[in-house]
Structure 1
Amino acid sequence: MAQRVVLITGAAKRVGRTIAERFARDGYRVAVHYGSSVEDAQATVDTLRARGVDAHALHADLSDAAQLDALVAGAYALFGRLDVLINSASIFPDDRLEDFSVETFDHAWAVNGRAPLLLTRAFYARAGALGHTGVVINVVDQKVRGNFHRDHFSYTVGKTAIGHLTTMLAKSAAPVLRVNAVYPGLMLPSGDQTDADFAYAERRATPLHRVATPGDLADAILLLTGPAYNGADWVVDGGQNLVPVDRDVVFEYRSPAA
């Protein structure tokens, strides 16, 4: 049996890179998608290849619908197959209902909502034509599980759509594809958050006083590729969704020492 292949959007750095490294350790060949982070993508590929992993970087602008079929086709052309698609990439504009622009909203929707749908459709069509099966994992956000707040409005709309459409996709794509979702929370510092701010938020944003790490998320995603899972929703956030907030934790929790 040929070695399995995973395509991960946004795999050049941060959480996406951790997911790529986890799947590589499990024996996968890895397609590292990137948008603008070409140097980071090549560094990720070089690191994986140094470990004996068959890895390639693939570029696509996820906001351009015309490039998404080509991204899936490119993975098939390079590796001869595709087994897992992980929709991890997202953009995170800082806006709210009262100030979001149509341009920002449309761009965020295209990347966070539309791209996962179109990539899933492209994977479904090609796998079905070849008589193959596969798995799609959508990386969503814990706030979609009911812990909404007013920040990052455009980002949240796309994530809410793809989170709530996972069940529909699981039904629509079966038996060719199994479609599941993970809901991470705070994992890494973002924006202008300092290390002290992050540590302060970590202690207060979850009942466990620790957040889930990118490694925790990658482990959960790998488990969800198993044959028994379809339409599954896994929250991987240290319980962050159980602690209501009025604003994003980046704003809600600032270290008193700052």
Structure 2
Amino acid sequence: MQNLTGKVAFVTGGSRGIGAAIAKRLARDGATVALTYVSSPDRARDVVGEIEAAGGTALAIKADNRNAEEIEAAVNQAAAQFGQIDILVNNAGIIEFAPIDEFSIEQFDRTVDVNVRAVFVATKAALAHMPDGGRIISTGSNLAHRVPWPGLSLYALSKSALIGFTRGVARDLGPRKITVNVVHPGPTETDMNPAEGDIADVARSVMAIPDYSDADDTAGLVAWLSGPEAKVVTGSEFTVDSGMNA
């Protein structure tokens, strides 16, 4: 476990899946956690309740990642209530499937708004409340580096963008000792991508270890990047995909 006592974490898309696992793991390691949700208030309350039942402190805030004002307001609310933001986890994301000639402009705008623009907005907003030595971690995808099936071009584009953003911001914030990294999950057991779903066997066929990840696998890596042992790890990428990209 990492020692995150006294730290405040802000996790976008923290009501379910990987985001919920990250929120709970950071809280277990001692952080106070604010998380956002857009359409799952019951799940967000469940995550907060689980954290509080274990003795932690958490806050759920409704904020749509397509709305810059809502993201900024959520960050400011968390900072006002807890004093600062030490750890930002840009986790919220969406995926659209279609051949390139069937994608609409609306799908492009929606994907880029949620997966790319919101990361910029949340990062900029959090920095106003982040002390030196803070942490910024974004959830990318192993598909940012390798796209083994058709229909994923738009998603891959959006997640690839986070790589360049991470490296650039790491340079900007290095003098403040704020680290900036991106974590690339592969197929992970969630309600959106179940390990026994329609594409699961196809996905396992290209893995070195033919097993879906658990959300806790990614959460553990995020916790390490948030902790003192990763104080000089920045501008880097970490892939959690059972060797799919090997």
Taking structure 2 as the reference length, the TM-score comes to: 0.89
Gaps of 5+ in 1: 243-258
Find the aligned partners of 2:192 and 2:175 in 1 and give their Cα distance: 41
Aligned Cα root-mean-square deviation (Å): 2.2
Matches within 5 A, 1:155-234: 155-176=155-176, 177-188=178-189, 195=196, 197=198, 200-201=201-202, 203-225=204-226, 226-234=230-238
Match of 2:18 among 15, 19, 31: 15
**For residues 230 and 190 of structure 1, do their structure 2 counterparts lie closer, same or farther at Cα, with a shift above 3 Å needed?**
same
Find the aligned partners of 2:66 and 2:56 in 1 and give their Cα distance: 29
Find the aligned partners of 2:139 and 2:195 in 1 and give their Cα distance: 25
CA contact (8 A) 1:96 1:154 kept: no
Q: CA deviation at 1:163?
A: 2.3
Partner of 2:123: 120
SS of 2:150's equivalent in the other structure is coil
SS of 1:179's equivalent in the other structure is strand
Find the aligned partners of 2:73 and 2:174 in 1 and give their Cα distance: 23
Partner of 2:94: 91
Find the aligned partners of 2:55 and 2:191 in 1 and give their Cα distance: 32
CA contact (8 A) 2:147 2:156 kept: no
Gaps of 5+ in 2: none
Percent sequence identity over matched residues? 30
**For residues 74 and 206 of structure 1, do their structure 2 counterparts lie closer, same or farther at Cα, with a shift above 3 Å needed?**
same
Aligned pairs, number:
239
AA in 2 matched with 1:239: G
CA contact (8 A) 1:133 1:175 kept: no
Find the aligned partners of 1:234 and 1:192 in 2 and give their Cα distance: 20
Partner of 2:139: 139
Find the aligned partners of 2:216 and 2:190 in 1 and give their Cα distance: 15
Find the aligned partners of 2:236 and 2:129 in 1 and give their Cα distance: 23
CA contact (8 A) 1:139 1:184 kept: yes
Find the aligned partners of 1:111 and 1:215 in 2 and give their Cα distance: 23
Q: Does 1:105 align with 2:104?
A: no
Taking structure 1 as the reference length, the TM-score comes to: 0.85
Larger radius of gyration: 1
AA in 2 matched with 1:12: S
Q: Which moved more, 1:183-192 or 1:114-123?
A: 183-192
Find the aligned partners of 1:95 and 1:207 in 2 and give their Cα distance: 27
**For residues 59 and 189 of structure 1, do their structure 2 counterparts lie closer, same or farther at Cα, with a shift above 3 Å needed?**
closer
**After superposition, what is the alpha-carbon deviation per residue over 1:127-186, rounded to whole angstroms, capped at 9, x for unaligned?**
3xxx54311001100011234543233322221111232111111222332100111100
Find the aligned partners of 2:105 and 2:171 in 1 and give their Cα distance: 32
Structure number with higher relative contact order (C-alpha < 8 Å, ≥ 6 residues apart)? 2
**Shift >6 Å, 4+ stretches:** none
SS of 2:101's equivalent in the other structure is coil
AA in 2 matched with 1:166: T
SS of 1:136's equivalent in the other structure is strand
AA in 1 matched with 2:211: R
CA contact (8 A) 2:5 2:31 kept: no
AA in 1 matched with 2:79: Y
CA contact (8 A) 2:142 2:184 kept: yes
Find the aligned partners of 2:159 and 2:202 in 1 and give their Cα distance: 22
Q: Which moved more, 1:167-176 or 1:84-93?
A: 167-176
AA in 2 matched with 1:161: A
Q: CA deviation at 1:104?
A: 1.4
